[in-house]
Amino acid sequence: MPAASVSSAGHAGADRPELGAIRESMLIDGKPVREGQGEPVAVYDPATGQVIAHQPDAGPVQIDLAVQAARRAFDSGPWRGMLPAGRERLLLKLADLVEQHGNELARLETLNSGKLLGVAQGLEVESGAQWLRYMAGWATKITGDTLSLSIPFPPGVRYSAQTLPQPVGVVGAIIPWNFPLLMAIWKIAPALAAGCTVVLKPAEETPLTALRLAELVLEAGFPPGVVNVVTGRGETAGAALVAHPGVDKIAFTGSTEVGKLIGRAAMDGMKRVSLELGGKSPVIVLDDCDVDRAVQGAAAAIFFNQGQVCTAGSRLYVQKGLYAKVVQGLADLAAGMTLGSGFDPATQVGPLVSARHQKRVMDYIGIGRAEGGRVLAGGGAGEGAGYFVQPTVFTGLRPDARIVREEIFGPVVVAQPFDSLDDAVLLANDSAFGLGASLWSNDLARVQGLIPRIDAGTIWVNTHNMLDPNMPFGGFKQSGIGREHGRAVLDLYLEKKSVCMAY
């Protein structure tokens, strides 16, 4: 079986940031806090396995400090009385600062997460700045409604009524490691546009860019305590944040398993909660498509960011007449990909985020083989100390195989043929998840017929993984609750108050 090549061990050198510049502290109430509880968390460079920092593991004491700071900033600080145009101006300033420090942020992201430098630059920094600017615009456009009431009591009394949207309060935001800077921005930008304050907990694997972002938040002029970043493990820092009674809303992105825990815990305090969770998104290739485009698209859908994308196209369904051609084309592309450091411009596939995650993905590849799957490309770990996994294409698995049903979150795709469009719908919807799906076809009537029948929060046609700040995003079924981006995201950060006046 062909295997992807490994470009080089370690890094290309020049672009790698100096470790001395990394600050090993949280940012609470505008000040660095170094003390956590117990053992600090080691932070790694996934391309080499080298420890690059130690971050505090925040316990209930530090979480309380952060929530109190966010509470004060929300309840009584200058933030509370700031006009919407003031919030807009600060968010625009933050977008400028993210761009000005883009090179530094992107290099820090590549060092800490392993992703390709171009992806860190384009997707985390540049689109992060775009998201901030888009959300800045909403700060001045939050409106309520004027309502006409029909109740005729008591006779002679008339009513005027309106809805008044208000910020929900202190937001506890918990994010994963796959797009650390962008996920932090996806949480803080709408929360700040709405007038909330935030305690953000990045993933323990990738806290560095969120911490740097918090410094830029201060530099932009946001009052201390409006954005606080705490670091630490999920079961300690994350759980303490979810349990804290001073938090009004939990905004979570991560796995479905942890999302369920968080949803239940949030309910205990009746906190508002939004959940962006896992996926197992289908790529559906019809026999009238542009084949080259579909093959390239299917490869990008699963191998982009090493498959560590919640909407990764991890199930490939191809109509029978094209099945052999598309699957072989995909396997050839996978086998030709170059693995290596994200700093090396020749690299197409970087390392996975951690040794633990590499083992998890390799275990799934083992399960797929044991279930009778045939590996058409990849199937192995990369060489060297980095956490590499080869882009892997499986065929020959039954729809009830574990690797067809469970989210792997790595560069592993399972291909299956289908006959009719009805079969494609059945296969695509035969999943606990419903985050994204893509259709590859040039027949508008077939595409339009399929779109309403696929259970997914986003349907792409002849593209995959395309997101925009103006396009609502979220999951059907076990992929989550709520919609981020667009106007829809404001609902997650606003309470609607009804006001009724008799006259």
Residues that bind ligand NAD (CB under 6 A): 174-178, 201, 203-204, 234-235, 238-239, 242, 253-255, 258, 261-262, 276-279, 310, 407, 409, 435, 475, 480
Helix axes 84-100, 127-139, angle to 10 degrees: 170
CB of 28 or CB of 318, closer to ligand NAD: 28
Q: How far is CA 379 from CA 366, 418, 435, 453, in A?
A: 9, 24, 26, 33
Assess whether 407 carries a catalytic annotation: no
Place of tokens 């009513």: 159
Helix axes 127-139, 180-194, angle to 10 degrees: 10
Q: Minimum distance between the CB of residue 474 and ligand NAD, rounded to whole angstroms?
A: 7
Q: How far is CA 339 from CA 17, 49, 89, 117, 391, in A?
A: 21, 15, 42, 14, 9
Of the listed 204, 205, 276, 484, which one is catalytic?
Answer: 276
Q: Minimum distance between the CB of residue 42 and ligand NAD, rounded to whole angstroms?
A: 14
Q: Minimum distance between the CB of residue 3 and ligand NAD, rounded to whole angstroms?
A: 26
CB of 253 or CB of 465, closer to ligand NAD: 253
CB of 331 or CB of 413, closer to ligand NAD: 413
Residues in the chain: 503
How far apart CA 63 and CA 302 sit, in angstroms, is 37
- Asked if 174 and 229 count as a contact pair (C-beta separation under 8 A), the reply is no
Phi-psi region of 391 (alpha: psi -120 to 50; beta: other; left: phi over 0): beta
Coil, strand or helix at 444: helix
Q: Minimum distance between the CB of residue 302 and ligand NAD, rounded to whole angstroms?
A: 13
- Please give the sequence-ordered ranges of beta strands (E in DSSP) within 217-259, or none if there are none: 227-229, 249-253
Q: Minimum distance between the CB of residue 57 and ligand NAD, rounded to whole angstroms?
A: 10
How far apart CA 92 and CA 90 sit, in angstroms, is 5
CB of 174 or CB of 362, closer to ligand NAD: 174
Coil, strand or helix at 221: coil
CB of 323 or CB of 460, closer to ligand NAD: 460
Q: Minimum distance between the CB of residue 23 and ligand NAD, rounded to whole angstroms?
A: 19
CB of 106 or CB of 273, closer to ligand NAD: 273
- Asked if 357 and 387 count as a contact pair (C-beta separation under 8 A), the reply is yes
One-letter amino acid at 198 equals V
How far apart CA 9 and CA 156 sit, in angstroms, is 83
Q: How many CB atoms lie within 10 A of CB 485?
A: 20
Which active-site residues does the annotation give? 276
